[in-house]
Amino acid sequence: MNLFSLVGVRQVFAGRTVLDIDCLDLLSGRNYALQGPNGSGKTTLLQVLAFLEEPTQGKIYFNGEPVVWREKKLCALRRKVILVDQHPIMFSTSVRNNVEYGLRMRGLAARQRRRLAEESLELVGLKDFVDRPAHRLSGGETQRVAIARALACAPEVLLFDEPTASVDVENQALIERVIQEIHRQKGVSVIFATHKRLEAARLADHRIFLFNGKLSGPGGENMVSGTLVSRDGSIFFEICPGLDIPVAGGTPGSARASLKAEGIHILSGQDMDRHQVDRSCPATVQQMTVEGNSIKVLLDVGVPLKTIMPHERVAADRILVGDRVQVVIDPQAVQIIA
């Protein structure tokens, strides 16, 4: 069953279109990750899904019913869908009172509020914090209290805007575990925005990529500008002088493309046959970071590009920051966005 359906949704601020989605269906009982660069429309989409911002145009359906953007109707919907901000605000009172706030607004009895608050705090690992001043907690603890506050209200859907962006490593792991438990124990649908590739892979059933407010294909980490050029009856995407990639069609002129990290390869001496050498370009290794069982490598090919390599391959080829390497890009890794 469709949880949300968006049809022709546009959001315009000060004459600038920040969200432009022709059609998007989100199914009930699933976890979704919203990914894309800063300014791609992730937060705006969350605000629309939380019924906090009415789109400039278009229709939104929730559980098969059209959303009516009148305050009386929206109040009931906002009890079912709750957004946890990246920097949640805590009242200058105890953790318990903060978690009970939404329940108090709903008119629940004190005993029931207390029970629900303690259950929610136990799920996020903060049951012993009930009497602490909420405004003096660390960033990670504050985020977990905000999750408990939302959970206590028994929502159908929880939305998160960068839930682990501003917290330490320990709390990142705890928050990820909580999100998994919310889905497993409570059956709550979760939609969250994140810049973290592995976090999205661990927590989400599906990933949604946004670029300039529009839906784009997978692999949205490498977004580059270039030029589509026609040569010898074929179309090439030219990223910078000396680096062009054959693509399937398109109109010559300025273009924007998404490049899948898995399709960007650093060549080693043993696999540099003549064909690959002809298609390769020089690059400089600028940064290397560990991501699970892989290494994320930031390359400078004239523009910054990221690729993913197994630990074993990096060790075998002795790749280090500062090295000059040869890079080849699979044509299938390139998706023209605009």
Q: Give the residue-averaged pLDDT of 209-237.
A: 81
Q: What is the pLDDT of residue 300?
A: 92
Instruction: Please list, in sequence order, all residues whose beta carbon lies within 8 angstroms of the beta carbon of residue 10, skipping any fewer than 6 positions away.
Output: 17, 19, 20, 21, 55, 56, 57, 58
Per-residue pLDDT tens over the stretch 284-327: 999 888 876 788 899 999 888 889 888 899 999 999 999 999 99
Q: Can you read off the two tokens belonging to residue 136?
A: 């003096």
Instruction: Report how far residue 148's alpha carbon sits from residue 253's, in angstroms, rounded to the nearest whole number.
Output: 51
pTM for the model: 0.70
Question: Residue 275's pLDDT is what?
Answer: 46
How much is the average pLDDT of 94-98? 95
- What dihedral angle (degrees, nearest 10) is formed by the CA atoms of 88, 89, 94, 98? -70
CA distance 188 to 158: 7
The strands making up 206-211's β-sheet, listed across from edge to edge, are: 81-84, 157-161, 189-193, 31-35, 206-211, 214-216
Rounded Cα distance, 190 and 297, in Å: 30
Select the more confidently predicted residue: 147 or 187: 147
pLDDT band at 272 (very low <50, low <70, confident <90, very high): low
Least confident of 5-19, 63-77, 201-215, 276-290: 276-290
Residue 17's pLDDT is what?
94
The mean pLDDT of 9-35, rounded to a whole number, is 92
pLDDT higher than 60, residue 260: yes
Question: Residue 92: is its pLDDT beyond 90?
Answer: yes
What is the band of 276 on the pLDDT scale with cuts at 50, 70, 90? Answer: low
- In this structure, are strands 189-193 and 31-35 parallel, antiparallel, or unpaired? parallel
Counting residues of the chain whose pLDDT is more than 70, the rounded percentage is 95
Q: Model confidence at 108, in pLDDT bands (50, 70, 90)?
A: very high
Q: With 60 as the cut, is the pLDDT of residue 192 above it?
A: yes
Mean pLDDT across 276-282: 74
The per-residue pLDDT of the chain, averaged, comes to 89
240 versus 271: the higher-pLDDT residue is 240
Q: Which of 24-33, 94-103, 225-234, 249-258 has the lowest mean pLDDT?
A: 249-258
Instruction: Quickly list DSSP for 280-298.
Output: -EEEEEEEEEEETTEEEEE
For the stretch 127-145, pLDDT in tens is 999 999 998 999 899 999 9
Does position 219 have pLDDT exceeding 70, yes or no? no
User: Is 80 exceeded by the pLDDT of residue 159?
Assistant: yes
Cβ–Cβ < 8 Å for 39, 193? no
Nearest in space to 225 (alpha carbons), one of 336, 118, 323: 336
Q: Is the dihedral of CA 139, 127, 28, 205 positive or negative?
A: positive
Residue 242: how many CB atoms within 10 A of its CB? 10
Sheet holding 16-27, edge to edge: 16-27, 2-13, 57-62, 65-66
